[in-house]
Amino acid sequence: MTTPRTATGPAVPRKRRGGRPGGGELLAAAVGAVPGGAARPGQQQMAEAIERSIASGEHLLVQAGTGTGKSLAYLAPALTVDGPVVVSTATLALQSQLVDHDLPRLADAVEPVLGRRPTFAVLKGRHHYLCLARLDNSVEEEPEDTLFDAPRPGGGTKWLGEAGRLGKQMQRLRDWAEKTATGDRDELDPGVDDQVWRSASMPARECVGATRCPFGQECFAEASRARAREADIVVTNHSLLAVDMLAGRHIVPPHKLLVVDEAHELADRVSSAAQAELEPQLIDRSARRARPLLRPELAERLTEAGDALAVGLAEAPAGRLTAGLPPALREACTLLDAATRAALESIGDIKADDPDPVRKQQAKAALDELSTTAQRLLEEADHDVAWVEKPENGSRRALVVAPLSVAGTLATHLYDERTVVATSATLALGGRFDTVARALGLDAPPPAPPSPAAAALATAAAAGRAGTTPPVASADGSRAATGTVPATEGPGWTSLDVGSPFDYARQGILYVAAHLPRPSVSGLPEAAGEELLALVGALGGRTLGLFSSRRAAQQAAELLRARTDLPVLLQGEESLPLLVRRFREERESCLFGVMSLWQGVDVPGDSCQLVVIDRLPFPRPDEPLAAARAAAVDAGGGSGFAAVSVPIAAVRLAQGVGRLIRATGDRGVVAVLDSRLETARGYGPFLRRSLPPFWYTTRPDVARGALERLGKS
Ligand code: SF4
Q: Please report which confidence band the pLDDT of residue 478 belongs to, taking 50, 70 and 90 as the band edges.
A: very low
- Res. 585: pLDDT tops 90: yes
At residue 10, the pLDDT reads 55
The answer to whether the CB of 200 is under 6 A from ligand 1 is: no
| Residue 140, pLDDT above cutoff 70 | no
Q: Is residue 392 over pLDDT 90?
A: no
How sure is the predictor about 39, in pLDDT bands with cuts at 50, 70 and 90? confident
Q: Assess whether the C-beta atom of 203 lies below 6 angstroms from ligand 1.
A: no
Given a cut of 50, whether residue 468 has pLDDT beyond it is no
Reported confidence tier of residue 245, pLDDT bands at 50, 70, 90: confident
Burial 133-163, CB ≥16 within 10 A → b, else e: bbbeebeebeeebbbbeeeeeeeeeebeebb
Confidence band for 304, pLDDT divided at 50, 70 and 90 = very high
What is residue 142's predicted lDDT score, i.e. its pLDDT?
A: 41
Q: Is the CB of 202 under 6 A from ligand 1?
A: yes
Across residues 265-280, what is the average pLDDT?
A: 94
The pLDDT tens digits for 548-582 are 989 999 999 999 999 999 999 999 888 888 899 99
Residue 401 pLDDT > 60:
yes
Ligand 1 proximity of 130 Cβ (cutoff 6 Å) = no
Amino acid at 508: G
Pocket test for ligand 1, best of 197, 205, 218, 222 (most atoms within 8 A of CB): 222
Q: What's the CA gap between 493 and 4, in Å, rounded? A: 9
Query: Which one is predicted more confidently, 391 or 90?
Result: 90
Output b/e per residue, 184-206; b: 16+ Cβ within 10 A. bbeebeeebeeebbbbbbbbbbb
Quick one: which of 604, 610, 560, 562 has its CA closest to 580? 604
Measured in Å, residue 274 CA sits from the centre of ligand 1 at 24
Backbone angles phi, psi at 120, to 5 degrees: -145, 155
pLDDT surpasses 80 at 474: no
Q: How confident is residue 483, by pLDDT bands cut at 50, 70 and 90?
A: low
Sheet with 120-122: strands ordered across? 120-122, 233-237, 85-89, 257-260, 419-424, 59-63, 493-497
Residue 461 has pLDDT above 50, yes or no: no
* Dist. CA 366 → ligand 1 center (Å): 16
The Cα-based distances of 553 to 142, 328, 520, 632 in angstroms read: 44, 38, 14, 33
Report the 3 state secondary structure along 558-614.
Answer: HHHHHHCCCCEEECCCCCHHHHHHHHHHCCCCEEEECHHHHHHCCCCCCCCCEEEEC
Ligand 1 pocket residue status of 208, Cβ below 6 Å: yes
| Residue 170 beta carbon below 6 angstroms from any ligand 1 atom | no
Label residue 227 exposed, middle or buried (CB < 10 Å: 0-12, 13-18, 19+).
middle
Mean pLDDT of 589-606: 87
Of 430 and 538, the one with more pLDDT: 538
Q: Return all residues near 654 (Cβ < 8 A) that are at least 6 apart.
A: 425, 426, 429, 690, 691, 692
CA–centroid distance, 173 to ligand 1, in Å, is 16
Share the mean pLDDT of the chain.
Answer: 86
Report the alpha-carbon distance of residue 145 to residue 147 in Å, rounded. 7
Length of the chain: 713
| Burial class of residue 216 in the structure, from the number of CB atoms within 10 Å of its CB (0-12 exposed, 13-18 middle, 19+ buried) | middle
List Cβ neighbours of 399 (8 Å cut-off, separation of 6 or more).
277, 278, 279, 309, 312, 313, 329, 333, 377, 386, 387, 388, 389
pLDDT bracket for residue 155 (50, 70, 90) = very low
Q: What is the percentage of the chain residues whose pLDDT exceeds 70? A: 87
Higher pLDDT pick, 14 / 280: 280
Mean pLDDT score, 488-495 = 89
135 lines ligand 1 (CB under 6 A): no
Q: What are 62's strand-pairing partners?
A: 423, 496
Atom 8 (ligand 1) nearest CA: 131
Q: How far apart are CA 39 and CA 37, in angstroms?
A: 7
Q: Which residues pair with 237 in a beta bridge?
A: 89
Q: What is the mean pLDDT of residues 11-17?
A: 50
How does residue 470 score in pLDDT terms, banded at 50, 70 and 90? low
pLDDT at 5 over 50: no
More confident residue, 154 or 21: 21
